[in-house]
Amino acid sequence: MKVGQEVICINDKFAPVQIEIIPNRPLENKMYTIRDIFTTRNGRAVHLEQLNNPLLSHPSGMGQFEPSFAIDRFRPIVSDDVEISVEQEEEIYA
């Protein structure tokens, strides 16, 4: 995956503490665009264009950070995903 790539969320299950401190979380089967990719102590993570969250204090006491999401919560978009999304949007506006 790369910055600017469209992805679809395949895992929107979060621990209660994550739900408490991260107000804007990805939803399963919704499309997003990768804003940034980086490595955390837990592995590769992303920020998404469509989601912004308030800064949190870093556990080390060294500043603040924007919450990120593990890259394995997402998969690349395929053409079938786009067709389904267009059909769903048409149903909403019909």
Could you read off the pLDDT of 54-74 as tens digits, one per residue? 999 988 888 999 999 999 999
> What's the confidence (pLDDT) of residue 58?
83
Cα distance between residue 93 and residue 63, in whole Å: 44
pLDDT digit string (tens) for 24-52?
A: 999 999 999 999 999 988 899 999 999 99
> What's the confidence (pLDDT) of residue 31?
95
Which helix (DSSP H) or strand (DSSP E) does residue 11 occupy? Answer: none
pLDDT above 80: residue 93 = no
> What's the confidence (pLDDT) of residue 36?
96
Cα distance between residue 36 and residue 33, in whole Å: 9
pLDDT above 70: residue 84 = no
Which helix (DSSP H) or strand (DSSP E) does residue 67 occupy? Answer: none
Q: Which residues, 6 or more positions from 85, have their beta carbon under 8 angstroms from its beta carbon?
A: 31
> What's the confidence (pLDDT) of residue 59?
80
DSSP 3-state assignment of 17? helix
Q: Which residues, 6 or more positions from 53, have their beta carbon under 8 angstroms from its beta carbon?
A: 22, 23, 24, 66, 67
